Every structure is written in C-alpha cells, then in structure tokens.
Structure 1
Amino acid sequence: MLPVFILLLGIAIGIPVAFAIGMAALSFFLTSGAMPPEIFVQRIVAVTHSFPLLAVPLFVMTGVVMNFAGITRRMMAFAEAMTGHWRGGLAQVNVLLSTLMGGVSGSANADTAMQSKVLVPEMTRRGYDPAFSTAVTASSSIISVIIPPGIGLILYGFMGNVSIGQLFLAGIVPGMVICMGMMALVAVRARQLDLRPAFPHRMTWAGRGRAFAQAFLALLVPVGIVAGIRCGFFTPTEAGAMAVLLAVLVGLIHGDLGVAHIVPILEQTMQATAVILLVICAAHAFGFYMTWERIPAMVADAMLALTRNPVVLLLIVNLLLILAGMFIEGSAALILLTPVLVPVVTEVGVDPVHFGIVMVFNLTIAGVTPPLGTLMFTACAITGVSIGQFIRSSIPFYALLFAMLLILTFVPQLSLWLPELRFD
C-alpha cells in the first residue's frame, strides 16, 4: 500500500497530480523486487502508442484553431441573436454558447477560460453582478464535457475499453437536457435579480438568419463529427483529424486564419496535450501496480459485498466520485478510477456507456465545488471574483447540477437511446 500512501500524500501537499501519480508508481517498481525498475519506463512509453489517444491532441487542436479562426465569435453572435431579447439575455447566451462550444473544444476548462475573458466583462459592463456572471460561466461550461467530442469521454472510453463512438452519441441528449435545465434556472434567477435583456426587442428573423449564416460553417464541424461517426465514415480518432481540417477550412473561407497563426496554434495545442498525456502516462504505470496487486478486483469484491442492487450501488459510486472529485482534478480522477469502477458497475448490469456519461459529468461538477474545483479557480482568477462570492452565487447551480446528475444516473435511456438506435 506504499504507492497509494505516496499518491495521497503527494496530492495532499500540493504536488502536481501527474508527478504524484508517477512517484507513487515508481515506488512500487523500486521496492517490489518482483520486476526491474525499467518496466516503469516501458509502461509510461507503451501507452503513447495507443491509436485512440491520438484523438486527444486532434480535438484539442480543433478548439484552438476555432478560437483563432473567429468561429467562437460567430457562435456567440448566433447565440445572442437567438436569446439576447430574453431577460438576463447575456446569461442565456453564456449557457447556449457553452453548449455550442461543447461540439468544438470538448474541454470545460477551455470553455470557462474563454467565456470568463470574453463574456463576463461584457455582462459586468451591462450591470450583471460579477459573482453571478462567473457562476453562470463556470457552471454552464460543464455542458461542454458531455456534448461530443468531450475529452473526458475519450479518456473514459480509452481507460474503460468502451466504444468512444457510442459515448459521443450518448452525450448528445444529456447535453441538451442539461442546457435546457440551465437556461430555465437562469431565467428564474434573471427575474429574481431583475436583469435586463441584451436587446430591447426580439431580433428579426432576417437578423437571426444573417447570424446563422455567419455561424453555419462553424456549426457544421460538430454536426459533421457526429454524423460521420454515426454513418461509419470514420472512427472517433479519424474524426479528430477531420474536425481540425474542417476548422482550418472554415477559418480560411472567412479569411480570419493565416500563416501567422500556425505557431501559436501548435504551441497551445502542445501545452494542453502535454498536461493531459503526462497524467495518462503516469496513470498507466500506476495502473500496472493496481493490476499486479489486484486492487480493482478487491475494490469490486468489497463494493459488491455491500450491495448488488444497481440503484444503491450507483448512489454509493456517485458519492465516491463526488468526494474524489473534490480533492483530485477531474481528468486525473477519471483516469485513475475508470479501470476500478467499470468492472464493478457492469457486474450488476449497468451499461458502461451510460455509466461513462454519469462518471464524466459527476467528476466535472467537482470542478465548480470547493475546495479544489479547477473551473472555480480558473473563472475566479480571470474575473477577480472571490471564492466566497462565487460559492454563494453558485448555490442554485449546485442544486441544479446535482439534480441533473441524479436524473442522468437513474434514467439511463437519456444516454442510451441514441447509441442503441445506431448500434443495435
């Protein structure tokens, strides 16, 4: 149990998660005496040869390209044209843009950072409470991990040996449901806070049509990804390459993308990819230790000894994930816990595709909760809102998100009907 102790100690004292996992794994290879330490390096390198993991840098690059290509701006203009006349219209734009961006960036952190820089200052200028604006931004960004091509879905599919294509399809309906729930809550809060609409009058259909025409090519990117996977034209990994190509073409057609953007696009893509893959490589070595010591099997036996009732088991697992997510960054927790929990839930008949949506959504909710929520810290650092103000303004959103988690957990058809329609 020394590696587990080192892992928990490293996280507790603030060592970056990837290094804490790597140190814990290395301690096993150095002290076990069962195998040479060189196997540690082999485990780290071997995981980089995985074809499905190639989707991660490709979809990261898609989001970066779309930011430089002005696609984000066009999506925001379209969202504002549709909802700007509502009370609290900019807050509604915030939610709708997160949903649209889910099909582009696939990252809640990227969505939070972008909208904190772009939308929150404009909301503040128009009289919105900065704490409310920040809470809306961080909470709505959670939608982006469920809408394909969410990076979390790719990591879960890889670590749990679950079809990434089915996970992409499974995220569409839950993402839409969460979006509608979030917009309904924003409408209620807008009346309570007496927020003004962004536009004094409803935009004409001609104006909406122009906004849609400007965003049309951008909207084709996520639609093309899902349609291509569903129709069998390409795999999820190949879809990443197609998404990059489409994003580049859209930027060139609109004239917003040029040669000068190549270097910053590659820099941002490599930086974001390196952070994710460093955790994956370290976790793969740590996973070897867990498999060698039969830890996943022991955890499964212990949990199944408590109950074999799927409802009770899912409640226990959700509670475990909430607690884990509060102290471990979402992607790291997903990579570490997926190989442990997937065999447990499948043993009692829970569909691993449905569980993937629940697990990814659960661990991302932790990003907006104290004490270590990464989305919370990202948004507050950019907007200058204190953590205390953020938490007070986020209470209604916490209630909604946990209610949505229960709905997704116990209404599996929300996640499964579209994959079953395609893959039966």
Structure 2
Amino acid sequence: MAVGLSCLLLLIGFAINLPVFISVIGAVLGYFFIAADASPIIAAQRIIGASENVTLLAIPFFIFLGNLLNYTGITRRLLVLAEVLTGHFKGGLAQSNVLLSTLMGGMSASNLADCAMLCKMLVPEMVKLGYNKAFSTAVTAAGSLITPIIPPGIALIIYGYVADVSIGKMFMAGVIPGILCCVLLMIAIRIVSGVRGYKPARDHGPTWAEFWPALKGSSAALILVLVIIGGIRAGVFTPTEAGAVAVLYVIVIGTVVYKEMTFEHMKLALIETARATGGVMLIIMACSAFAWILTWEQVAQDVARFITTFASDPVTFLLILNVFLLILGMFIEGNAAIIVLVPLLMPTVKLLGIDPIQFGLIMILNLAIGCLTPPMGTVMFIANSITGTKTGEFVRESLPLFAALLLALGLVTFVPAITTWLPNL
C-alpha cells in the first residue's frame, strides 16, 4: 500500500510536469510521512547518503571538461577534420555533423551540451547550403545521442555506480556501439541526401595535403580520448581521477597550446558546471532514495517473478525490455530511469544470464533514443528551441535517423560481442 501510494505521487508529479527531482522527492516523502511506518529521518539519510560516493566525483569533472571544450578551439579543429574526411560524400555537411558529434562525445560527456553547441554552429550553415532546416535540426539532435554511449558519457558512469559494474569496462563497452550508431546514421543521411539531391560540401576526397594539417590541428583533442580510456584501462588512474587529468589537460591545451582560452572562459565554464552538476546530483539523490524504497519493499523480487512468467528466456526478455524502455524514455529523464530501474531489473538480468555490461548499453541506448521523441524528449526540445523548428516537422525529418538508431539498438541487443568484446580483452 505504501509503495503504491508513493508510485502514484510520482506519476502525478510527472503528469503535471514537475521537475524530475521534485516529483521523486515528493514520492519519497509521501512514502515516509503518509503511508509507511518508518522514521522520516531515514528519508533524509537516503537522499544525502546517495551523494557520498567518490565515484560520482567523475560527473562534475567530465561536465566541466565538456564546458571547457567550448572555449579551447578544439571543436572548430575537430570540425575541420570531420569535413576533410566526410565532406565529399552526398550530404557532406550533414555527414560531418554526425562525425563531429561522435568525436566530441568522447570528450564532452553531455548530449544536451553537444546538441546546443552544434545547433548554433552547424544548422545555420546547413540551411545556407540548401538543407531543410528541420532535417538539419534532426541530424544534429540524432548525432548528439551518441554522446551518452561513447566514453566518458555520464550515463555510463551512473550505470556503473548503480549496477556495481566497473566504470572502466563500461567506458570500453561504449566504443563499438557509439561507432556503430555513427556509421548507421551516416548511411541514413547518405540515402536521404541522394533522394533530395543534397550535394557534397567538397568535390573531392581527402588528400594527404589536406588530411595531415587537419589531423595535426585536432591531434590534441584525439590524444585526450586516448588519455581518458587508456589511462583507466592501464590502471594508471580511476575514472574519477581521469576526469581531473582530462580537465587539467584541456586547460593546458586551451591556454598554452591553442592560446584561445582565458580566465573568464574558465569562470563561465565553472558556473555552467555547477548548474549542470547540481541538476544531475539532485536527480541521483532523489532517485537513489526512491530506489531504496523499492528495494526495501522487495519490489525487485516481485518484478523479477512477474517478468519471468512472460519471458523465461533472454531473447523474449530483451524484446519486452526494449519496447518498455523506448516508451519510458519518451517521458522520463534517462539518468533517473537508470537509477530507479537497474536495481529492479538486475535480479532478472542475472537470473537469465545476460551480461550486465551488455544490459547497461542496451538500457542507455534505449533511453538516449527516447530523448529524440515526443512528448518529453529533452534533446528534441533543446534542438527545436534553438533552431525554431516545429515538433511535427522535426518528427517527420527524424524518421530515417530514428530507424538507423533502432537498427543499432537491435544489433547491440542480439549481438553481445558488440558490447562485451572490448571490455573482455
């Protein structure tokens, strides 16, 4: 009865469009104050206790890293490299858009930040070249969905923390799925561009005289990805320490090598980081307390028994899970869903012999796709608000890209080696 009332309060909060953390805290307090025979002090302990984990320090470091990138000149240099590599394809600038999102995802860790930045940078240029504005917006939004999958995505860190899985292995597991999403999106763009006659941005493929200066100019950024992943996998530092090392590296690159970042830029990045970290941590703290309630009430065991009555084999379970998560991702913020659902679903995952690393990538990719769809898709709203695109037009233009992402999801779901091969090397 108590947990049922708590869930009802949560749904009411979502229905009236309250912020996620307020809805969840309301449900938690409702459980302790109204229905449950338990001390409200436990609620405060659970909410505050969720933040007392060293692993979570990686989140502000990588958010700060992503914000610093806006001021270093790294993004512009990566765009030059992306244009050299893909500009000769049909729909050249759209192809470069997706490739840049993939390269940026390995550093910024925030799909919303990537989407906002690239909408301002690339969509106007694409429109000038004759691209449909809604299509340009959809391409930018879809490309930014690669960010949570490519290391060091914040979702990878949160899942590793909640599921008690190595964050270093989660980082490695995201590499191939991220590249797969990039390739499939570029294929979808090539098909659409061929039908609509979107021309290449360049009339020839990359030459060594063009490629080498572009690679040299962006080498500092590419080395950063190797520093983050290689350092973690080699045991030189933890994911949290990797975030600190990456921040220091980018500050040196921006101030000493490229000489484009100033103290004022760092101040602005710190302010943006504080705001973003506050939002993420409020969600983590509230949802961790709610997840504790569900565990205390043994909801996980009930869910496991219920699911196994319908899905007694991994294939059926994963099919049902994908449909459920795709729908859920339309309404609930992805990080909140991870914190609440992982403790509920993990017993079933282990019972059916599904690799927790593969399960994590399936979950993250599902919820990322949900960011692209109405009614509550956060990436969709950010992109449309910046470019002035109507939701209906955005949805129509995103259908081919949505299909490419669903194909990637199917491959990640039913070909375990895509997610488990690198971590198990």
In structure 2, what residue type is equivalent to 1:11?
F
- Does the alignment pair 1:97 with 2:100? yes
Instruction: Compute the displacement of 1:267 (Å).
Output: 0.4
Instruction: Compute the displacement of 1:93 (Å).
Output: 0.5
In structure 2, what residue type is equivalent to 1:160?
A
- Does the alignment pair 1:114 with 2:117? yes
RMSD: 1.1
The match for 1:332 is 336
- Does the alignment pair 1:347 with 2:351? yes
Task: Provide the C-alpha distance between the structure 2 equivalents of 1:313 and 1:87, rounded to a whole number of angstroms.
Answer: 39
Moved more, 127-136 or 253-262: 253-262
- Does the alignment pair 1:309 with 2:309? no
In structure 1, what residue type is equivalent to 2:357?
V
In structure 1, what residue type is equivalent to 2:253?
V
The match for 2:59 is 56
The match for 1:280 is 284
The match for 1:246 is 249
In structure 1, what residue type is equivalent to 2:419?
S
The match for 1:5 is 8
Moved more, 31-40 or 293-302: 31-40
> Which of 154, 157, 160 is 2:160 aligned to?
157
The match for 1:383 is 387
SS at match of 1:103: helix
The match for 1:300 is 304
The match for 1:70 is 73
Deviations 1:371-391 (A, max 9, x none): 211111111111111111111
In structure 2, what residue type is equivalent to 1:165?
G
Task: Provide the C-alpha distance between the structure 1 equivalents of 2:160 and 2:312, rounded to a whole number of angstroms.
Answer: 24
What TM-score, normalized to structure 1? 0.97
The match for 1:136 is 139
- Does the alignment pair 1:29 with 2:17? no
Instruction: Compute the displacement of 1:85 (Å).
Output: 2.1
Unaligned runs of 5+ in 2: none
Identical positions, percent: 45
SS at match of 2:69: helix
Q: Retained in 1: the 8 A contact 2:68–2:266?
A: no
Moved more, 259-268 or 30-39: 30-39
Instruction: Compute the displacement of 1:106 (Å).
Output: 1.4
Task: Provide the C-alpha distance between the structure 1 equivalents of 2:223 and 2:375, rounded to a whole number of angstroms.
Answer: 38
Instruction: Compute the displacement of 1:32 (Å).
Output: 4.1
In structure 1, what residue type is equivalent to 2:264?
A
Instruction: Compute the displacement of 1:231 (Å).
Output: 1.0
The match for 1:188 is 191
What TM-score, normalized to structure 2? 0.97
SS at match of 1:57: helix
> Which of 256, 260, 270 is 2:260 aligned to?
256
SS at match of 2:424: helix
Task: Provide the C-alpha distance between the structure 1 equivalents of 2:5 and 2:281, rounded to a whole number of angstroms.
Answer: 24
Instruction: Compute the displacement of 1:34 (Å).
Output: 3.0
The match for 1:38 is 41
Task: Provide the C-alpha distance between the structure 1 equivalents of 2:98 and 2:141, rounded to a whole number of angstroms.
Answer: 10
In structure 2, what residue type is equivalent to 1:296?
A
Task: Provide the C-alpha distance between the structure 2 equivalents of 1:78 and 1:192, rounded to a whole number of angstroms.
Answer: 26
Task: Provide the C-alpha distance between the structure 1 equivalents of 2:48 and 2:60, rounded to a whole number of angstroms.
Answer: 17
The match for 2:400 is 396
Task: Provide the C-alpha distance between the structure 2 equivalents of 1:217 and 1:250, rounded to a whole number of angstroms.
Answer: 7
The match for 1:222 is 225
Task: Provide the C-alpha distance between the structure 1 equivalents of 2:390 and 2:37, rounded to a whole number of angstroms.
Answer: 50
Instruction: Compute the displacement of 1:420 (Å).
Output: 0.6
In structure 2, what residue type is equivalent to 1:264?
L
Q: 1:203 to 1:403 in 2, by over 3 A?
A: closer
The match for 1:420 is 424
Task: Provide the C-alpha distance between the structure 1 equivalents of 2:232 and 2:317, rounded to a whole number of angstroms.
Answer: 32
